[in-house]
Amino acid sequence: MGEDDTINTVLIEAVKALGGSKIVGHKLWPEKAVDAAQRHLLACLNEDKPERLSPDHLMLVLRMARDKGHHGAFAHMCSLLGYSEPQPINPKDELAELLRDYLEAKKQDADKSARIERAISSLNQLRSVA
């Protein structure tokens, strides 16, 4: 991706990496006939046409590209906005992090439950003495 690339040119590369405008167009607009969805996508990616992708459609294209290992469009956007190049999260790493967080939360819940039990026990002892 060159310095002169536009958002549309890098999105066109992402669409190509995803199998082409016919496949991507149909995923973006499943309610349309395949050819109509393709034409609409091509119009959205043509800077001379008024049609544009909605923010949700843009995010869908970027997500599909990420899932296919194509990160060029998002990296280009980050570059234009002054962010460092993004690093995709490996799904195994994400799962491991989520499991660690979950187990830590469960441990904290168990610790709180034990403290609650001790507090209740202390209150019951005070009541029996009184």
* Helices and strands (DSSP H and E) totals, the chain: 6, 0
Q: How far is CA 56 from the centre of its chain?
A: 11
Cα separation of 27 and 14, whole Å?
Answer: 14
Q: Quick check: 43 and 51 in contact, CB under 8 A? A: yes
Residue whose pair of structure tokens reads 């959205």 in the numeric block: 44
- The model carries a pTM of 0.66
The pLDDT tens digits for 1-52 are 566 789 999 999 999 999 999 999 999 999 999 999 999 999 999 999 999 9
Q: Which residue has the tokens 């496949």?
A: 23
As a whole number, the mean pLDDT across the chain is 90
Domain boundaries along the sequence of the chain? 7-81, 89-130
